[in-house]
Amino acid sequence: MTEPRTTALYERHAALGASFTDFGGWSMPVRYSSDLAEHHAVRTAAGLFDISHMALFGVGGPQREEYLAYALAFDPSALKLSRAKYTMILTPEGGIIDDLIVTRSAEDQFLVVANAGNRDAVRAALQERLEGFDAMLIELDDALIAVQGPRAREILQQTSGLVHDDSLAMGHTLDTLPYYAAMGMRFGESAVLVSRTGYTGEDGFEISVDADLAVSLWDALLDAGQPLGLVPAGLASRDTLRLEAGMPLYGHELSRDIVPAQAGLGRVVPLKTKTADFVGRQALEADVPADAPVLVGLVSEGKRAGRAGYAVLHGDERVGEITSGALSPTLGHPIAMAFVSPGVSEPGTELDIDVRGTRIRATVTALPFYRRAQ
């Protein structure tokens, strides 16, 4: 059995008392203190996450745009310098290999960020689709560190050694950087890429840094942030945060058996605005079967939450299955996402969740469950 990989920050996590879990072949911190404390810190101040298990690919070369237009379900020509886009890489049948974030990180280069558990699948698909294009694909080994929460920008601004550099900033400052955009900064003598993106439903930043500098940057962020309420946060709180924000998790809400429209992500795929032929396009242009399950949100009362795999019932009929569920730390009641039959997917529809033999009433609701104050 292969031992899980570790990030450059593993020793820091261990020293902070983290509990670890195997996630996508990586030994990652699941929590440091308590799931609830870390969750609430992100909602009220900030959390510090190691996300170095994510897969990073650089794309360049003369035909980089044509290549990405074919390989992914998005239009790279519409992506301006420094801007990022949420997109997908699909199978020829229209199923989802992975959801991605693509950033035009330089005039002549794109950065593609994929999920840890899909690293091999994404790499294989990207390499296979290179054939016939004068483009280059490079797998990067940078570390990724995320600061998420309402005080995230303030923390970055007070981090020792992290400084603005006009030659890297692509016209932005931390004060003006838009959501889903990136800018270069300098940490010590090295350039880092700071993206205003995240997976928590809060404002925040994800920083790509040379792995050799990961520990120094982590320590500097922690030193700056702890007086402002920053805490190290693990995968458990990251999961409840993204669930509250209605963000899909691959292997739960997304898979090769699901097309984007079923997961409420049809808008992500530019069938009407993108003219290029991309892998999966023809399958998506065909109508999704009328009885194909669709993703909905479910809310219920009490404290017993539906979990992944639990049946969703309408009367005596099983009409779906929970994909993710938890007792929401922020809202104080159970929430879940589920794929259900289209006929019972309208908000306000009353359904039941089979929670270990007990029927718990749940109401269909629009996603997300939680939206941060602007």
Per-residue exposure over 17-39, b if at least 16 CB sit within 10 Å of its own CB, e if not:
ebebeebbebbbbbbbbebeebb
Beta strands 55-60; 136-140: pairing state:
antiparallel
| CA dist., res. 99 & res. 105, Å (int) | 19
Could you read off the pLDDT of 119-176 as tens digits, one per residue? 999 999 999 999 999 999 999 999 999 999 999 999 999 999 999 999 999 999 999 9
Neighbours of 369 (CB within 10 A): 21
Report the pLDDT value the prediction gives residue 247, as an integer from 0 to 100. 98
Distance separating alpha carbons of residues 135 and 66, to the nearest angstrom? 9
Q: Is 74 within 8 Å of 83 (Cβ atoms)?
A: no
Stated as kind and residue range, the H or E segment containing 126 is helix 119-128
CA-CA distance, 96 to 119, in Å (whole number)?
14
pLDDT in tens, the chain (374 residues): 688 999 999 999 999 999 999 999 999 999 999 999 999 999 999 999 999 999 999 999 999 999 999 999 999 999 999 999 999 999 999 999 999 999 999 999 999 999 999 999 999 999 999 999 999 999 999 999 999 999 999 999 999 999 999 999 999 999 999 999 999 999 999 999 999 999 999 999 999 999 999 999 999 999 999 999 999 999 999 999 999 999 999 999 999 999 999 999 999 998 877 667 899 999 999 878 889 999 999 999 999 999 999 999 999 999 999 999 999 999 999 999 999 999 999 999 999 999 999 999 999 999 999 999 86
Q: Which DSSP category does 3 fall into? A: P
Q: In the chain, pLDDT over 90 holds for what percent of residues?
A: 94
Question: Per residue in 43-64, pLDDT tens?
Answer: 999 999 999 999 999 999 999 9
d(CA 274, CA 70): 11
Q: Which residues contact 253 (CB under 8 A, 6 or more apart)?
A: 263, 295, 323, 324, 337, 339
Could you give all domains of the chain from N- to C-terminal order, each with its CATH number?
10-52+142-243 (3.30.1360.120), 55-129 (3.30.70.1400), 289-374 (2.40.30.110)
Residue 90 token pair: 């699909």
